[in-house]
Every structure is written in structure tokens, then in C-alpha cells.
Amino acid sequence: MADWENKKHLITRNLQEVLGDEKLTEILKERDLKIYWGTATTGRPHVAYFVPMSKIADFLKAGCEVTILFADLHAYLDNMKAPWELLVLRTQYYEAAIKAMLTSIGVPLEKLKFVRGTEYQLSKEYTLDVYRMSSVITEHDAKKAGAEVVKQVDHPLLSGLLYPCLQALDEEYLKVDAQFGGVDQRKIFTMSEKYLPQLGYAKRIHFMNPMVPGLTGAKMSSSEEDSKIDLLDNPANVKKKLKKAFCEPGNVAENGLLSFTKHVLFSLMKEGESFKICRSPDHGGNVEYTKFEDLELAFANQEIHPGDLKASVELAMNSLLAPIQEIFKEPKLQELSKKAYPPPVKVKGNVASTDEVTPSRLDIRVGRIVEVSRHPDADALYVEKIDLNEGEPRTVVSGLVNFVPIEEMQNRDVVVLCNLKPAKMRGVESKGMVLCASVDDPKQVEPLLPPQGSKPGDRVVVEGYENGQPDEVLNPKKKIWEKLQPDLKTNDSLLAVWQGNKLISKLNGNAVTTKSMKNAPIK
């Protein structure tokens, strides 16, 4: 096998798709490839980052020049979830974390460089190209390109349309031959191939990783606490999270543990190494696999018990994390970690001491409607007196007349957002909002169901954000609710979630649910 063929095998193995295979071959016959991978510096990097890092390891072993783009401008445009000051610190944290990850898997860093988006994306030339791109791309194509990676809401921000255009231009400004990303980026990649030539720039090669399930069976997300293991999680936390991981006997399609084993553990194995399933002699004793396909088949045939797979992945994962955690014992990195991802802080008065927009700033409580009447001046509104265990019932106005009969509202338990600024609704002051699952076409509205075993006044929190203190009153000028609300919805299991994290009772951990509406926005 020729040298370029060996390099091509390393570059393309375990990928789901390659766009531009012929061009890849042409370049490799002449020189080494130049590739970039970008990541928005928002949530903390977690173990799923080992999946792209394993491919970056392949690229570097194949002699590629690899650029990692810290997309700080993209991160800022993502609904402005973090201020610039935090993004600067988070970019530093990402660089330290990624260097530690690559060091932990023995990857040389000589042909690797890091670039921050704002180093060139605020230049005159780049800005003019953004305007040029906006003059040739249609709104339809820009929205379609970002459909898999930009959150889709009823009234999208313009930044969501700019996001794919910026990513396309990055290929030209980083002077690379290829871009690497997940298969969820495919529409952005095909948009790039269509529109960059219209600006006089070359069409690039695109490499796509498959989407790897998280520990809950869905995509692993930095914002979904149960789905991810942080790089700095200690062995006890790793064990706890893996114990809760979805790992159904024989199910290989939605198995985040098997996917991690394939794309990380097996891809990092050197010749002669194997993956060991550790189990007691009563259950067949230890067994070793040199090929992932053999392990996958054994699990599919239920020859491997989920508990044994979890225990074996736990050992391997902790050995990957140990060198990273040793590096992060350095005082400077510990200080950086605290500053980049500060814990939720208490609120004094109605002003939070951090500008970060997290669901812990919402004051959501269980309430019981003790009195309800029709609004005297609005046919579609109810005026409710809601017991929130405050001594006196609170008045809340809700547009539920056309969706819930008045007799079903009396003595009904509901979930109430309590710290909106009071507002007059047709002359009646409303001091809260009854949270409902709601869709527009056809119009359906259904009040959320409080957690089982809860009583009036019980706090409802988002899992993973239990320790924060809510603002006394949400400042309308800061638009906290408007920024958080698009990520609130019901899921396929009729659970209320924020970015995939369940809304739960702070007291008993039971979940907020809805009676029948799946995948509906919560308003």
C-alpha cells in the first residue's frame, strides 16, 4: 500500500461520510492535507469530545496540518448565552482541556494550531465577505443549512441565519483543504460547496463523524447533565453517571457506551492491544476483543451483560481522564476552571451578580388554583387566585378559557413562573404565569402537571441547575425569560425539559410532565 493510501485510510476510517473523495486522493498524492475542526466555546468539554479528538489524532498521525478553531464569535451569536468576558476565559479553558486530552492519548502536537474566530472574523475583509455571502444566499438556504445545529424557534434570530455563512467563510480564511465535523453539519457543508465558488473561492473537502449517542441514548450534550461526563469528574461521579446510562440488553443502535467504545477506545488501541470485558468466573470470566465488531455482535447476542460493559468502560474511561485531571491540578488551571464556569451565585435584591443566563434564575413553583373566574373585560382570559404557600393567594391571568373548562380549573394544581415583573392584562394585574405546553397549528394549550407528591409552594428546578438562586424579579430589559424559553419544551416521554434536562421538584426529584402533548414548546 502506497504511503498516501495509508494516510487516506487513517484520515477516513470510522467516518460516516466524505464529500470530495477524488480531490482528497489528488492532494494526498502531492502533499499533506490541511484540515480544520471548529467548536463553539460555550458548555464545558466532556468525554464525548474524545470522539472528535480520536479523529484529530488520526489526522495528525497521517501528517495533516490541523487547525482547531475556537468559534468564540459563533458562541456569542448563539443567543448570547455568555458575555464576552466569560467567552475569553472559556476559550482558554478549551485550549487547555483539548491539549490535555490529546496529551492523554499520546498525540504529538507539532502540527496542531489553535485559532480564535475573533482573530480574523472581525476584520474588514471577512466582514465584507459576510455581506457578499448575504447578497447571494437565500433566506431559505441559510435556514435550511442551519436546521440541524441552530435551535429552531417560532421567531428565529437573524444570527441563526448568519451562523452557517460564517462557518462556510472560515474554510477560506483558515486556508484549509478540508473541514471536519459531525454529520449534523452536512447541510452547512453542502451549502459551503454551493456558495463559496460564487464568491470566487474553492470548494473544500468535508469529513463527517457519525452522531454518537450520549449516556441517555440521545446526543451527548454539554447542557444535559445526565448525558455527559465532565473531563474533571472524579471516579465516583463517573461510576454514578455510568450506572444511570441507558444500556438495554442487546440494543446496539442507541447505546452510547458501545459508541464510545468504538469511536474512542478501539480507535486509540495500538497493534496488539485489546479491550477487556471484566467479569466474574461465575459469568464466564474475562474476555478480550481486538475488533469492535466482535464486541458489538457479542452484546447484540446478549453474551455481554450491560453491567459488565459499564464496569469495563468505567475502567477505560477513568484511565483516559486521569492524565487530564493530573494536568488540571495545576493551580492556574484550577483558577481558570472556576472563572470560566463560575457556580451559580445568590441574587441580592433583583440583580444577579453574574450575567450568565441559566434556568436557575427562574422562580418556578407548584401552585393550586383556589378560585377562578372569567376576566370581566376579556373573553379568552381566566383570573385565578393561586395558592403558592405565601399566606395570601396570588392573582394570575391566563389565556386558557378556550382550552380548559372553568370547572377543571378549580382546585387544579399547576406550575407557575413566579418572578416575572407583574403586568396588567386588560386592567387586571397578573403576578405570574401558568406554564403550559402550547402549539400554534392547530392551536392547542395544556397546563403542565406538577411533580407527583408536590404541594403548593414547592420549588421546581431544572436538573443540573438545582443549586442556583432565582432572581427576585426578572429584569425585562435583560430578557432572561425570552432567552431561556425557546429551550423549554416537552419531549417524546411527556416530560418537561430545558435543553434536554428535566424540570423536577427540588424536594423529591419527581418530574414535571404533560398529559398528552409531545415535543411542544412550553410558554
Strand, coil or helix: 504: strand
User: Do 205 and 275 belong to one domain?
Assistant: no
Domain extent, residue 27, equals 3-209
pLDDT band at residue 211 under the 50/70/90 scheme = confident
User: Do 203 and 252 belong to one domain?
Assistant: no
Mean pLDDT of 194-211: 95
DSSP 8-state code for residue 18: E
With a pLDDT cut of 70, the percent of the chain lying above it is: 93
CATH for 294:
1.10.240.10
CATH for 131:
3.40.50.620
Mean pLDDT of 387-392: 91
518 located within any domain: no
The model's pTM is 0.65
**What tens digit of pLDDT does each residue of 483-501 get?**
899 989 999 899 999 988 8
User: Do 481 and 422 belong to one domain?
Assistant: yes
214 located within any domain: no
User: Do 290 and 399 belong to one domain?
Assistant: no
Beta carbons of 232 and 242 less than 8 angstroms apart: no
If we measure between CA atoms, which residue out of 294, 357, 318, 273 comes closest to residue 79?
Answer: 357
pLDDT at 496: 94
Distance of CA 26 to the CA centre of its chain: 37
User: Do 387 and 321 belong to one domain?
Assistant: no
pLDDT at 101: 94
| Rounded CA separation 502/53 (Å) | 29
Distance of CA 205 to the CA centre of its chain: 26
Around Cβ 477, how many Cβ atoms within 10 Å? Answer: 6
State how beta strands 364-374 and 382-387 pair: antiparallel
pLDDT at 457: 92
pLDDT at 429 over 90: yes
DSSP string, 52-82: HHHHHHHHHHTT-EEEEEE-HHHHHHTTT-S
Cell numbers 444570527 correspond to what residue? 159
CATH for 442:
2.40.50.140
pLDDT at 349: 43
pLDDT band at residue 81 under the 50/70/90 scheme = low
Beta carbons of 380 and 399 less than 8 angstroms apart: yes
With a pLDDT cut of 90, the percent of the chain lying above it is: 64
User: Do 315 and 408 belong to one domain?
Assistant: no
Mean pLDDT of 294-318: 94
User: Do 96 and 199 belong to one domain?
Assistant: yes
Beta carbons of 159 and 141 less than 8 angstroms apart: no
Size of the chain in residues: 523
User: Do 364 and 332 belong to one domain?
Assistant: no
**Close Cβ partners of 81 (under 8 Å, ≥ 6 residues apart):** 42, 75, 356, 357, 483
pLDDT at 373: 95
Burial 97-110 (b: 16+ CB within 10 A, else e): bbbbbbebbebeee
pLDDT at 400 over 50: yes
Strand, coil or helix: 260: helix
State which of 308, 340, 372 marks the end of a domain.
Answer: 340
pLDDT band at residue 353 under the 50/70/90 scheme = very low
Weakest-pLDDT range from 88-102, 147-161, 183-197, 204-218: 147-161
| Rounded CA separation 310/244 (Å) | 10
421 located within any domain: yes
pLDDT at 44: 87
Mean pLDDT of 333-342: 89
If we measure between CA atoms, which residue out of 450, 457, 468 comes closest to residue 504?
Answer: 450
pLDDT band at residue 236 under the 50/70/90 scheme = confident
pLDDT at 160 over 80: no
Rounded to the nearest 5 degrees, what angle is found at the Cα of 181, between the Cα atoms of 14 and 359?
120
User: Do 195 and 102 belong to one domain?
Assistant: yes
217 located within any domain: no
Around Cβ 2, how many Cβ atoms within 10 Å? Answer: 9
pLDDT at 16 over 90: yes
223 located within any domain: no
Q: In whole angstroms, how far apart are CA 133 and each of 78, 83, 146, 361?
A: 20, 27, 15, 38
pLDDT band at residue 466 under the 50/70/90 scheme = confident
User: Do 10 and 143 belong to one domain?
Assistant: yes
pLDDT at 223: 45
Beta carbons of 434 and 403 less than 8 angstroms apart: no
Pick the more confident residue, 40 or 23. Answer: 23
User: Do 331 and 365 belong to one domain?
Assistant: no
User: Do 13 and 55 belong to one domain?
Assistant: yes
Mean pLDDT of 141-157: 74
pLDDT at 222: 46
345 located within any domain: no
445: part of which helix (H) or strand (E)?
strand 443-447
Pick the more confident residue, 213 or 470. Answer: 470
Strand, coil or helix: 468: coil
pLDDT at 157: 73
| Rounded CA separation 432/382 (Å) | 13
| Average pLDDT of the chain to the nearest whole number | 89
pLDDT at 419: 94
pLDDT at 224 over 60: no
pLDDT band at residue 352 under the 50/70/90 scheme = very low
Cis peptide before 442 (omega within 30 of 0): yes
The dihedrals phi and psi of 175, each to the nearest 5 degrees, come to 55, 50
pLDDT band at residue 27 under the 50/70/90 scheme = very high
Mean pLDDT of 443-465: 92
Beta carbons of 294 and 204 less than 8 angstroms apart: no
120 located within any domain: yes
pLDDT at 217: 54
479 located within any domain: yes
| Rounded CA separation 308/346 (Å) | 42
pLDDT at 146: 80
pLDDT at 152: 58
pLDDT at 159 over 80: no
C-alpha cell at 285: 470470566
Mean pLDDT of 138-150: 83
DSSP 8-state code for residue 401: T
* Domain count of the fold of the chain: 3
